[in-house]
């Protein structure tokens, strides 16, 4: 036996294996991912409501009366960059919706939000965030991973890596997509260069949430356990001959997790144990709320079971045309379920430890090309202005932070790059972006890419 083979073989016995585990734990601690860096942080979980396509801040939470004065007048932006999607003449476009102040905080909401005003004082609005990309895939990657070109770990993967799991029988990061994946696909919830255990696990919105979660007819749990034990025996023997291959070890762990999930998941994903009152509150069994309502209710159940990060997708808010019709239908589909989620978490004593984030990949422009006599007008992509709100988890509820200019074209107060929002999100979960690092390709990497700063105004 070669000396290298002898040293590798030591890891197959219990004593050195335990010692290796201690070394791994120390390595984890040195990278800052052994739990929260800020124990006083309230948030232990995050539910990320992602409105894919780019919701218009001007038509949801950031009213611009000036646009009513300028409506359908030719758009001018002298000395500044034109809209990235501009072609030909462009015109100012007013919002088709009316706005009003809601809650004791006086939050701005358009009149299509009928249920969210009931929880307005739980929300912290942020109007100062800016991103870099106007293309959906790269913008999605930027918001979800901090890297416009994909391939890096998603926020949920970082949180899962940093805080660990509260339930070994479930993935720490679960994704609830629409019928189709968002632009950019599964790279939006990738583990990137982190170990594969930290990647997002998508659940199918129709049919079996996870394919093959139920065993074939006639196969008992005892049968599966014996088969898995034998498979693990074969894999361990193979791994001992190729100890440098981490993928096999990760695959073995995934088999074990899949086995435990067969017991745990079906009960969690079923809504049969929920009361009629709860189902009605979320809009389950009703249109247009059934789809998103089911997923919001499932998100609450997953958080109750200890899942760290749950991400829900709602598509598509990409309203270049027929803004009144498009946003007018999209808002009612998510309004009641979101309000119910916040109320339900509050009633169960879970809102303080659960951070909810609502956002898309960018905002929309105050102008657009006009077709059909102006009846079909919408808005283009805008990386310079957007609306984000948070609830629970130690955010500064009942406040609106930052501002955009009088036409909603760009952020002008408390302006921060998306990396600063990422750092703030991690901080609310008790994680320090500068300590939450992973050594890859010759350097320690982090979510913010090049370092960012906390936005203190967003933290209570």
6: burial class by Cβ within 10 Å (0-12, 13-18, 19+)? Answer: exposed
Query: Which pLDDT value is given to residue 39?
Result: 93
Residue predicted with more confidence, 8 or 362:
362
Q: Give the H or E element holding residue 358.
A: strand 354-359
**Mean pLDDT, range 176-191, rounded to an integer:** 92
Identify the bridge partners of residue 358 per DSSP, sorted by sequence position: 49, 389
Which pTM value belongs to this model?
Answer: 0.84
Mean pLDDT of the chain: 86
pLDDT given at position 11:
43
The mean-pLDDT minimum among 74-78, 211-215, 273-277 falls in 211-215
Does residue 457 carry a pLDDT above 90? Answer: yes
Domain 36-207+279-458, CATH homologous superfamily name and number = Alkaline Phosphatase, subunit A (3.40.720.10)
The three-state secondary structure class of 412 is strand
What whole-number distance in Å separates Cα of residue 349 and Cα of residue 352?
A: 7
Question: Which of 94-98, 234-238, 422-426 comes out lowest in average pLDDT?
Answer: 234-238
55, 382 Cβ separation under 8 angstroms: no
pLDDT digits 0-9 by tens, 61-115: 999 999 999 998 888 764 444 444 445 678 899 999 999 999 999 999 999 999 9
Structure tokens at 334: 């998510």
Sign of the dihedral through C-alpha 293, 295, 298, 302: negative
- Angle, CA of 199, 356 and 63, to the nearest 5°: 125
**pLDDT at residue 161, rounded to an integer:** 96
- C-alpha 54 chain-centroid distance: 14
- Write out the two tokens for 20: 């290796």
Please work out, in degrees rounded to the nearest 5, the angle formed at the alpha carbon of residue 325 by the alpha carbons of 324 and 327.
70
What pLDDT digit, counting tens, does each position of 11-61 carry?
Answer: 444 344 334 333 334 444 444 456 899 999 999 999 999 999 999 999 999
Please tell me the distance from the alpha carbon of residue 16 to that of residue 7, in angstroms, as a whole number.
Answer: 10
């Amino acid at each position: 036996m070669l000396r290298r083979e002898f040293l590798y073989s030591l890891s197959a016995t219990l004593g050195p294996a335990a010692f290796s585990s201690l070394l791994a734990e120390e390595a984890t601690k040195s990278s800052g991912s052994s739990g929260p860096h800020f124990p006083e942080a309230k948030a232990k979980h995050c539910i990320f409501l992602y409105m894919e396509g780019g919701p218009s801040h001007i038509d949801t939470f950031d009213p611009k009366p000036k646009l009513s004065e300028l409506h359908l007048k030719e758009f001018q932006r002298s000395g500044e960059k034109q809209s990235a999607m501009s072609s030909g003449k462009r015109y100012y476009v007013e919002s088709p919706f009316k706005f009003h102040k809601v809650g004791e905080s006086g939050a701005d909401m358009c009149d299509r939000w009928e249920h969210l005003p009931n929880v307005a004082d739980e929300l912290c609005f942020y109007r100062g965030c800016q991103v870099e990309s106007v293309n959906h895939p790269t913008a999605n990657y930027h918001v979800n991973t901090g890297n416009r070109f994909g391939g890096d770990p998603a926020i949920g993967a970082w949180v899962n890596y940093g805080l660990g799991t509260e339930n070994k029988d479930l993935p720490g990061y679960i994704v609830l997509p629409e019928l189709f994946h968002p632009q950019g696909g599964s790279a939006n919830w990738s583990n990137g260069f982190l170990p594969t255990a930290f990647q997002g696990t998508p659940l199918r919105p129709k049919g079996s949430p996870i394919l093959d979660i139920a065993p074939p007819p006639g196969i008992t749990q005892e049968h599966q356990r014996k088969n898995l034990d034998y498979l693990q025996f074969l894999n361990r023997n193979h791994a001992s001959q190729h100890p440098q291959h981490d993928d096999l070890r990760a695959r073995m762990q995934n088999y074990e997790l899949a086995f435990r999930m067969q017991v745990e998941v079906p009960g969690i994903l079923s809504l049969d144990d929920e009361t009629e009152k709860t189902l009605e509150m979320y809009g389950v069994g009703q249109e247009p709320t059934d789809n998103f309502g089911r997923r919001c209710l499932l998100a609450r159940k997953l958080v109750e079971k200890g899942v760290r990060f749950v991400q829900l997708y709602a598509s598509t808010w990409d309203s270049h045309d027929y803004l009144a019709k498009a946003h007018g239908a999209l808002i009612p589909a998510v309004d009641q379920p979101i309000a119910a989620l916040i109320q339900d978490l509050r009633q169960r004593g879970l809102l303080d430890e659960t951070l909810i984030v609502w956002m898309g990949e960018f905002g929309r422009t105050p102008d657009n090309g006009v077709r059909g006599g102006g009846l079909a007008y919408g808005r283009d992509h805008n990386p310079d202005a957007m609306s984000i709100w948070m609830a629970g988890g130690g955010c500064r509820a009942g406040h609106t932070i930052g501002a955009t200019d009088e036409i909603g074209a760009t952020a002008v107060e408390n302006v921060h790059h998306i990396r600063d929002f990422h750092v703030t999100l991690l901080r609310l979960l008790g994680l320090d972006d500068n300590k939450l690092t992973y050594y890859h390709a010759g350097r320690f990497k982090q979510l913010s890419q090049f370092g960012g700063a906390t936005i203190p105004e967003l933290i209570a």
